Amino acid sequence: YPSGNLAIIVTRERDQLICIVQEDELRTPKIRALFQSDGRSTCYYPNGDEWINMSIQGGQYLDQAGNRVRRWMWPTLSPGPHVPLSPIFISLNRHVGVRILAQDKIFVSFLAMGRQAKLNMGTKVQASAASQLPPPTRLGEDELLLLAFRVRILQLFDRMRGCLNFPSSEQWNKMQPPTYLMTQAVKILELCMAADISDELRSSIRAIVNA
């Protein structure tokens, strides 16, 4: 961002690429969007609520009250009707926008100081490949809370290390948390969406990892 804060991170974990869009914040920036090369993607409202969720089957668009506004299915090689996608464009903030045109055409655009960068985070996952994917892991309330507190504690330890390394300045405040911590936070949020838990607990866990 023009402020110097990190906006977009692209990293590799095992055999897939992960793109993380962060909010323009100095300390513990909130995650605004996550795109994975296995076909799963999620965009979040500024308050952390889910905005758009996509999988290898299709996607859904939610309003800020959590109501589903739109739902679609990706066309696949399998026969039968499917719900088509009308192009979607959202602005995560004044610098980052997301345009969804097709499963393999999901563009993340970054515009600042007259210059633009565009990333295509779409992927083409066929139905045959989708059927081989394992079912998502579903954890209980206690397990999710423990995972969230673990990430929070690691975040605090990382901040303490930064303070010790720069005791006489505020440079440590500008340091971004390690990529593996951000990835773990995103995974916990994904597990929360798949788990059968209350909205109140889901919000509490989101607040813990984004504190």
- Is the pLDDT confidence value at 77 over 50? no
Whether 155 is in a domain gets the answer yes
Tell me the C-alpha to C-alpha distance, in Å, between residue 83 and each of 24, 26, 58, 86: 35, 41, 9, 10
- The answer to whether 45 and 31 are in contact (CB under 8 A) is no
- When comparing pLDDT for 170 and 35, which is higher? 35
pLDDT for 168 equals 58
- Is the pLDDT confidence value at 105 over 70? yes
* Number of domains forming the structure of the chain: 2
Whether 33 is in a domain gets the answer yes
pLDDT for 174 equals 59
Question: Which amino acid would we find at residue 72?
Answer: W
Q: Give me the mean pLDDT over the 112-132 stretch.
A: 73
- When comparing pLDDT for 110 and 17, which is higher? 110
Please indicate, yes or no, whether residues 79 and 161 belong to a single structural domain of this protein: no
Q: Which domain range does residue 170 map to?
A: 141-210
Please indicate, yes or no, whether residues 18 and 79 belong to a single structural domain of this protein: yes
- When comparing pLDDT for 99 and 170, which is higher? 99
pLDDT for 146 equals 82
Q: CA-to-CA distance for 47 and 28, rounded, in angstroms?
A: 14
Residues ≥6 apart with Cβ < 8 Å to 126: 76, 77
pLDDT range class, residue 71, cuts 50, 70, 90: confident
- The answer to whether 32 and 39 are in contact (CB under 8 A) is no
